[in-house]
């Protein structure tokens, strides 16, 4: 049985109503909340930090919060997001001077740990740390912004990452982030991904024509996955 998870990225949500937006996508069937942390240093954009993560959880978000750190350095933010109640914490290997230590910090804090690979970042970073991973996140756009187009070469990288996971024998989620839509999610699943970040596809789906747009899009994504 496939174990597909859909993780709407709140980067594309209405930040003035973030708690309600998170509640709404979970009520519409999403599995977790993808939380993009950008620092205007590692990536050219600035978003939200641990206080917002903590506020969402205090507000009542029970679904796992999947924190994607696009910050440099990473270790202080790892501690802050452990304290804020994150479930998954992933970071980019280029942003840490000591990747093994950063992964261990996440695990010592009781969170699930993951590494994120930019389109041009080699998977060889996995060689010595795959035994510490609960998640591998393959970027299918260059990080920094929502609403970009899926880079097709990512499919091959997903297949390679899937092979590495199978060879490790470990239970590691394979997540994909960037440009995931209803018309490409099936192909992405066939390449081996089982966890799908979708920002603009989900949060752009609700409007006056379809006030239940989050239900519509999440059902559509699930239907595509069922047929994949």
Helix (H) or strand (E) holding 156: helix 154-168
Q: Which of 36, 39, 66, 134 is catalytic?
A: 36
Among 103, 113, 155, 201, contact with ligand DX5 (rule: CB under 6 A):
201
With CB under 6 A as the contact rule, which of the stretches 48-56, 59-67, 118-126, 199-207 interacts with ligand DX5?
A: 199-207
Nearer to ligand DX5, 166 or 201 (CB): 201
Helix axes 50-59 and 18-27, enclosed angle (nearest 10) = 60
Contacts for 28 with CB less than 8 Å, ≥ 6 apart: 212, 214, 215, 218
Residue 192: C-alpha distances to residues 2, 4, 22, 185, 186 (Å): 10, 11, 27, 11, 10
Do residues 91 and 116 lie in contact, with contact meaning Cβ atoms separated by under 8 Å? yes
Among residue numbers 92 through 151, which ones bind ligand DX5 (CB under 6 A)? 141, 143-144, 146-148
Q: Which two tokens stand for residue 16?
A: 């003035």
With CB under 5 A as the contact rule, which of the stretches 98-106, 164-172, 177-185, 218-226 interacts with Zn ion?
A: 177-185
At residue 8, φ and ψ (nearest 5 deg) are: -60, 135
Contacts for 186 with CB less than 8 Å, ≥ 6 apart: 224, 225, 227, 228
Establish if 68 lies at the interface with ligand DX5 (CB under 6 A): yes
- Tell me if residue 31 is catalytic: no
Residue 151 per-residue DSSP state: P
Do residues 201 and 11 lie in contact, with contact meaning Cβ atoms separated by under 8 Å? no
Establish if 177 lies at the interface with Zn ion (CB under 5 A): yes
Q: Which option in Zn ion, ligand DX5, none does residue 47 bind, with CB closer than 5 to 8 A by kind?
A: none
Q: Which option in ligand DX5, Zn ion, none does residue 148 bind, with CB closer than 5 to 8 A by kind?
A: ligand DX5
Smallest distance, Å, CB 1 to ligand DX5? Answer: 26
Establish if 197 lies at the interface with ligand DX5 (CB under 6 A): yes
Nearer to Zn ion, 146 or 213 (CB): 146
- Binders of ligand DX5: how many residues, by CB under 6 A? 21
Establish if 36 lies at the interface with Zn ion (CB under 5 A): yes
Here's the x/- map for Zn ion, 85-124, by CB under 5 A: it reads as: ----------------------------------------
Angstrom distance (rounded) from CA 88 to CA 106: 9
- Tell me if residue 134 is catalytic: no
Site residues (vs Zn ion, CB under 5 A): 36, 68, 177
**Catalytic residue positions, numbered:** 36, 177
């Amino acid at each position: 049985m496939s174990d597909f998870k859909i993780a709407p990225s709140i980067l594309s949500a209405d930040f003035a109503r973030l708690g309600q937006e998170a509640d709404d996508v979970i009520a519409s069937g999403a599995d977790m909340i993808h939380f993009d942390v950008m620092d205007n240093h590692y990536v050219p954009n600035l978003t939200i930090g641990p206080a917002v993560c903590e506020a969402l959880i205090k507000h009542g978000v029970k679904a796992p919060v999947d924190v994607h750190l696009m910050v440099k350095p990473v270790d202080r933010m790892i501690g802050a997001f452990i304290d804020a109640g994150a479930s998954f914490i992933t970071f980019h290997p280029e942003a840490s001077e000591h990747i093994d230590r950063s992964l261990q910090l996440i695990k010592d804090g009781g969170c699930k740990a993951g590494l994120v690979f930019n389109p041009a970042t080699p998977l060889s970073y996995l060689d010595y740390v795959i035994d510490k991973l609960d998640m591998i996140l393959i970027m299918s756009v260059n990080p920094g912004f929502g609403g970009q187009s899926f880079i097709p070469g990512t499919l091959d990288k997903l297949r390679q990452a899937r092979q590495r996971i199978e060879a490790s024998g470990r239970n590691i989620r394979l997540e994909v982030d960037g440009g995931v839509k209803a018309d490409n999610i099936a192909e992405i699943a066939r390449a081996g991904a089982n966890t799908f970040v979708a920002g603009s596809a989900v949060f752009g789906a609700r409007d006056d024509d379809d006030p239940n747009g989050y239900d519509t899009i999440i059902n559509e994504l699930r239907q595509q996955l069922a047929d994949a």
